[in-house]
Amino acid sequence: MKMLATATVSAIIATSIFTSAHASQNVTIGAASVGGTFYVWAGGLANVLGNVGMNANVEVTGGPLHNIQLVHGGELELGLVTAAPAYEGMQGIEWADGQKYDNIRAVLPMYPSYFTWWSVRDSDVKTFEDLEGKVVAMGPTGGTPDTYGRKVFDHSGIQPFRMVNAGFSDIVNQLRDGQVDAALTTAGLPHPAVAETESTHGINLITLPQEISESFIEEYPYFGTDVVPAGTYDAVTEDQPTLTLWNFLITHKDLSDDVVYEMVKGAFEHHDTLMETHRASKHVTLDNIDELTIPLHPGAIRYYEEQGVEIPNRLIPED
């Protein structure tokens, strides 16, 4: 994972979009691997930003943890993250291991991620308990499935024989070829890789049992539960409860207030573009500001207050 020296970061902040008051700028969005919901959703956001005069492109990254590091260090203007690693990074706990990534600020709520494992339909892996002793793909190294999926396994006592890392486009082929028994994703619904697998081989969609989810949340209260609705995939014939975790967009605290304001305004005014990209974007609403776990950027606060949103004290930055 690339990081910049302090002097280099300072130079970037002094000469880049961070100090600009104009919307016509180059913006890079840190997503995750190709084949995942983050990558697809980031493409929709890039189109939205294009609609408000920004030149936006999507960068393949290692996922939320990597995006937090890159945005904190000034190497990306925007990053897609999940609630748990963002909160832990700000506090310097868990994966952050004493290093506070406190230059990041929240911009926009995205959607909840659902913990779902899947196998090909003729596999003998059909329940969470069946993952015991199996080879399970966990997505890219350092991504949300990898980081928190391992915690779920440790907490539950279910232990795969081996956990492997790969991008989701590769995981589809590994499942089809029998190189892995099952795979985990933590993303909005439907997940492109799961849908792609189902299109050729059919799937078993596996969710976390409610009692394990509830026990896990007692230890990690920034998680939640929801159901994968019937019909999300052909294999889902009834609602399936599972563990969830919210996703949101972050930026650097020194990004221009005006630029962030235009980003948030554009996302809500061009919400149809986000919906055309991925239907999980239905969760991009003013009501879901409460799902954020780190302080908002002042430019975002300006827009939300204009819309009559009452900002919780915990989301107002101290600086």
Report pLDDT digits (tens) over 126-153: 999 999 999 999 998 888 899 899 999 9
Residue 176 has pLDDT above 70, yes or no: yes
My answer on whether omega of the bond before 190 falls inside 30° of 0, hence cis, is yes
Domain boundary, last residue among 229, 245, 261: 245
Q: What is the predicted pLDDT for the residue at 57?
A: 96
Domain-located, residue 1: no
Same-domain status, 304 and 214: no
Same-domain status, 139 and 238: yes
Q: What is the predicted pLDDT for the residue at 25?
A: 80
Q: What is the predicted pLDDT for the residue at 21?
A: 45
Q: Indicate which CATH number applies to the domain containing 159.
A: 3.40.190.10
Q: Mean pLDDT, to the nearest integer, of 201-215?
A: 97
Residue 43 has pLDDT above 50, yes or no: yes
Question: What's the pTM value of the predicted model, to 2 decimals?
Answer: 0.80
Same-domain status, 68 and 190: no
Residue 4 has pLDDT above 60, yes or no: no
Place of tokens 């055309």: 276
Domain-located, residue 300: yes
Size of the chain, expressed as the number of residues it contains: 319
Q: Mean pLDDT, to the nearest integer, of 46-62?
A: 95
Q: What is the predicted pLDDT for the residue at 5?
A: 34
Q: What is the predicted pLDDT for the residue at 15?
A: 40
Q: What is the predicted pLDDT for the residue at 236?
A: 98
Q: What is the predicted pLDDT for the residue at 24?
A: 56
Q: Mean pLDDT, to the nearest integer, of 90-101?
A: 95
Listed in sequence order, the residues at least 6 apart from 242 whose beta carbon sits closer than 8 Å to its beta carbon are 114, 115, 116, 207, 208, 213, 225, 226, 227, 228
Res. 12 pLDDT band, cuts 50 70 90: very low
Q: Mean pLDDT, to the nearest integer, of 293-315?
A: 97
Q: What is the predicted pLDDT for the residue at 227?
A: 96
Q: Mean pLDDT, to the nearest integer, of 43-60?
A: 96
Question: Mean pLDDT over all residues of the chain?
Answer: 91
Residue 16 has pLDDT above 90, yes or no: no
Domain-located, residue 224: yes
Same-domain status, 131 and 215: yes
Question: pLDDT (tens digit, 9 = 90+) per residue, 20-40?
Answer: 444 458 999 999 888 788 999
Same-domain status, 132 and 224: yes
Same-domain status, 239 and 138: yes
Domain-located, residue 269: yes
Residue 17 has pLDDT above 80, yes or no: no
Count up the domains in the chain and report the number. Answer: 2
Range of the domain at 235: 113-245
Q: What is the predicted pLDDT for the residue at 188?
A: 84
Q: Mean pLDDT, to the nearest integer, of 174-191?
A: 94
Same-domain status, 236 and 140: yes
Domain-located, residue 296: yes
Same-domain status, 182 and 90: no
Domain boundary, last residue among 200, 223, 245: 245
Q: Mean pLDDT, to the nearest integer, of 220-245?
A: 95
Domain boundary, last residue among 217, 245, 273: 245
Same-domain status, 232 and 269: no
Same-domain status, 194 and 94: no
Helix or strand run (H / E) with residue 210: helix 210-219
Q: Mean pLDDT, to the nearest integer, of 34-58?
A: 93
Beta pairing, strands 224-228 & 240-252: antiparallel
Same-domain status, 201 and 308: no
Domain-located, residue 152: yes
Same-domain status, 98 and 117: no
Residue 235 has φ and ψ, to the nearest 5°, of -75, -15
User: Cβ(112)–Cβ(245) under 8 Å?
Assistant: yes
